[in-house]
Amino acid sequence: MDSRTWFKEAQFGMMVHWGLYALLGGEWRGRRMPYIGEWAQQYFRIPNAEYHALAKIFNPIYFNAEEWVQLAQDAGMKYLVVTSKHHDGFAMYHSRVSKLNIVDATPFGRDVIGELAEACRRHGMKLGLYYSQDLDWSELDGGGYKQGKTWCGDAAYWTNNWDFPDAGKKDFTRYFEGKCKPQVEEILTQYGDLCLIWFDVPFTITAEQSQELYELVKKHQPDCLVNSRIGNGIGDYHSCDDNQTAFEADGSFGGLYECPATLNDTWGYKSFDQNWKSAEKLREIRARLGGQGVNYLHNVGPDYLGRIPAPSVDILREFGAAGA
């Protein structure tokens, strides 16, 4: 079966947002953030020196790749998409490009992407990887500096302008050539076959760079799909807006669509976000999206110890038990 046919038939997948931000759980120095947890560094404007120091205490001893993959299967999901690097620049795999990664920078010292890749192979689960190709707050030249404020608070900008306030010194091409492309090549060559690469927030990347990145994926893995958030109208399938649970298919991207959605109100772990959707609500959303020919990519946000929150587990098991 070719990859496009597989994707069309898969219909349902699990997304995982996990990184250093799980240590904060949406809080910093007595303040709670009202927005999504994986944006904590940006919302609180935490200097890189302080944020990166969190790696020294990041030790998710309860992480179990087998349990994560089994949960996805029990829920009826056909593929797993895991953050290899989010906007904070921290890699959840062993990168030779940057020491800011879970193997070299933490006491945990294990390659979670490698372990998940092995578990997926054992269970017959397809694996995809999320990679933030544009925004990278750990880097002077990370993208977003041509944009204004985000929706994430009055002081929040897409770029790191608290460590690197002079936008005139930023050059996205340096980041693209020096970190983005080499890391994408790493994830394409270190973990076996990938069903897709999930890019995000293409604000600064040029059309030529999007095409170059697309060709890099196809060079190493011709059957690996690329989502539309690579930017500039490029990609193999369309990523709908976050939590866009109603969508009119227009025939673009060969008729392949996917809606990424949260189970509560955040992607990354927030200890105090208990606004969970019910299993019944998930069935309703999946039925609606499926009727429109749109895949449903449902997110979980593990905590700082590597545990998928119990309400997420319970809801997904109930969902799966009903045979939805």
CB atoms within 10 A of CB 55: 21
**Tens digits of pLDDT across the chain (324 residues):** 899 999 999 999 999 999 999 999 999 999 999 989 999 999 999 999 999 999 999 999 999 999 999 999 999 999 999 999 999 999 999 999 999 999 999 999 999 999 999 999 999 999 999 999 999 999 999 999 888 766 666 556 789 999 999 989 999 999 999 999 999 999 999 999 999 999 999 999 999 999 999 999 999 999 999 999 999 999 999 999 999 887 777 777 888 999 999 999 999 999 999 999 999 999 999 999 998 899 999 999 999 999 999 999 999 999 999 875
Rounded Cα distance, 99 and 135, in Å: 18
Residue 311: other Cβ atoms inside 10 A: 14
Our CA angle for 137, 139, 142, nearest 5°, is 70
pTM: 0.97
CA distance linking residue 58 with residue 163, whole number of Å: 23
How many C-beta neighbours within 10 Å does residue 222 have?
8
Residue 133 has φ and ψ, to the nearest 5°, of -85, -15
For β-strands 31-32 and 27-28, DSSP reports them as: antiparallel
CA distances from 121 to 18, 301, 317 (A): 21, 22, 22
Separation of alpha carbons 184 and 314, rounded Å: 34
> What are the structural domains, with CATH classification, of the chain?
3-321 (3.20.20.80)
The residue among 95, 113, 104 whose CA lies nearest residue 58 is 104
